[in-house]
Amino acid sequence: MSSQSAFDYDKPYDIMVGYWVGTATICCPRGAYVMSTKSYVSVYWEQRYKKLCFRESGEEEPESRSSLLDTRTAKHSDIDDILRKNKKTALPTSGALRLLTFDLDIDGPFSKGRSPLVSLDGRQICPDAYQFHLKKEEEMSNGKPVYHHIYNSHHLPSPDDWRIIGPIVGPIDGKEGEVGVAVAQFFRRISYHVPKATMRGLQ
């Protein structure tokens, strides 16, 4: 793992940039354990301090260091080249591979974004803590969209540890605003560099 300076916390969201591996523990509304999943997360600047990209999936850690890029120091033109190349060579999807992608427009401590699956907004509330609200639209009910809301509290107690905790809330058995599941995620930084293959468009 490559080290970086203490100024990770100086710019909002910059502490998140890098390649992470972690697990999510999912519990039912009454707190009973349901399941756990493992995933890798790439977070990179497409435009430094302006556009942040989040890519989560089950791909394996790359073997070659030459396949990694540090977007905190790379030229914007280099990132553009990789995104154009990966437009036709994005990672394949399968029923067993979970993919979650979204982009965030950064405005100081505030962020707002969208993907084909979710709309979201977030805010930095102190240097090592963030809160996000994700809204996922589901099937139509009586001509009106039905939404599930995901509330995430993010804590980065050190540059290499990332903890995310929050419930998924939605219409459960016809009742609005009910907690469906509670999720706790724990990620460990592998590198400040991200695999080039994970730098891809929204899916």
Q: Which residue has the higher pLDDT, 171 or 13?
A: 13
Q: What is the pTM of this model?
A: 0.83
Query: Is the per-residue pLDDT at 2 higher than 60?
Result: no
Q: Where are the alpha helices (DSSP H) in 27-184?
A: 76-86
R_g (Cα) of the chain, nearest Å? 17
% of the chain beyond a pLDDT of 90: 52
Mean per-residue pLDDT over the chain, rounded: 85
Q: Confidence class of residue 64 from pLDDT cuts 50, 70 and 90? A: low
Q: What is the arithmetic mean of pLDDT over 159-182?
A: 87
What superfamily would CATH give domain 13-198? Calycin beta-barrel core domain (2.40.128.20)
User: Which of 131, 125, 187, 184 minimizes the C-alpha distance to 158?
Assistant: 187
pLDDT single digits (tens) 7-56: 689 899 999 999 999 999 999 999 999 999 899 999 999 999 999 999 98
Across 16-25, 71-80, 140-149, least confident range:
140-149
Instruction: Give Cβ neighbours of residue 44 (< 8 Å, ≥ 6 apart).
Output: 17, 52, 53, 55, 69, 71, 79, 194, 199
Q: Tell me how far apart the alpha carbons of residues 151 and 118 are, in angstroms, rounded to a whole number.
A: 12
